[in-house]
Amino acid sequence: MSVLSVQGLGKSFGGVQAVSGVSFSVAPGEMLALIGPNGAGKSTLFNMVGGQLQPDAGSVTLGGATISGLGPRAVARQGVGRTFQITATFGSMTVRENVQMALLSHRREIWCFWRSVAERFGAEADALLAQVGLEAQAERATGVLAYGDLKRLELAVALGNAPRLLLMDEPTAGMAPAERVALMQLTRRLATERGIAVLFTEHDMDVVFDVADRILVLDRGALIAEGDGPAIRANPAVRAVYLGTDAGSH
């Protein structure tokens, strides 16, 4: 039984078909990588799943319920967590408070005007921070965190929603190679433990082949290959895209 199921998804901007006829699904605990050259339509596809863009054709279902057409907020409410390519955290709050916000939102306690935030879900927030290895930084401002720590904080915030599906857009962009592998292995472990389906885009092929269970290859808006690491490596169409027309751009 898959968590996320995408059927015949399509989107065009003006006359340009950015994504067309894309179908795939992700199972609980599975890590699915979405790769492809620049301009292949990865971000468009990603934003249609996350609710930032509305598709022209096709459907997105989460656990059997349709989520395409909903906005990002409603999609989040359905149990989709996400991290952004450029880290987005609440700069005027501490690391712990960032996670508390996700927990408060998940438990529908946002519209409270009286109780102090300091008394709400502090322990749960610390537990999540411990999972991503940030417990020592709980009191610090997000503005002073190292970049790798910010990425881990985003992961903890996304987990605060108790997501069934985690969307990670370029999760390791801007990180040192050693940190990249550590972050994705952490994600791998959390996904397995919690049965979360993970869909991520990634430019670093080492990371992709290291952690992804399955890989989707997108080129000019269409899926050209799907399979595990060795199969994708051996696929002639993928080799043509990466080595032929677009080699050296990564």
Site residues, other proteins (CB under 8 A): 50, 52, 71-73, 76-77, 81-82, 84, 88-94, 97, 100-102, 104-106, 109-118, 120, 141-144, 157-158, 160-161
In angstroms, what is the minimal distance from the CB of 104 to other proteins?
A: 5
Q: CB of 162: closest distance to other proteins in angstroms?
A: 11
143/177 with CB nearer other proteins: 143
DSSP code at position 163: -
Residue 210: Cβ within 10 Å count? 14
Smallest separation, CB 87 to other proteins (Å): 9
Minimum CB separation of residue 134 from other proteins in Å reads 16
Residues 6+ apart with CB under 8 A from 66: 59, 60
The alpha helices in the chain, defined as continuous H runs, are 42-50, 72-77, 95-106, 122-131, 147-159, 177-194, 205-211, 229-234, 236-239
Q: What minimum distance in Å lies between the beta carbon of 232 and other proteins?
A: 29
Backbone angles phi, psi at 17, to 5 degrees: -80, 100
Nearer to other proteins, 63 or 72 (CB): 72
113 or 236: whose CB is closer to other proteins?
113
Nearer Cβ to other proteins (120/194):
120
| 38/212 Cα distance (integer angstroms) | 20
Concatenated DSSP letters for 58-94?
A: EEEEETTEE-TTS-HHHHHHTTEEEE-SS----TTSB
By beta-carbon proximity to other proteins, the closer residue of 97 and 202 is: 97
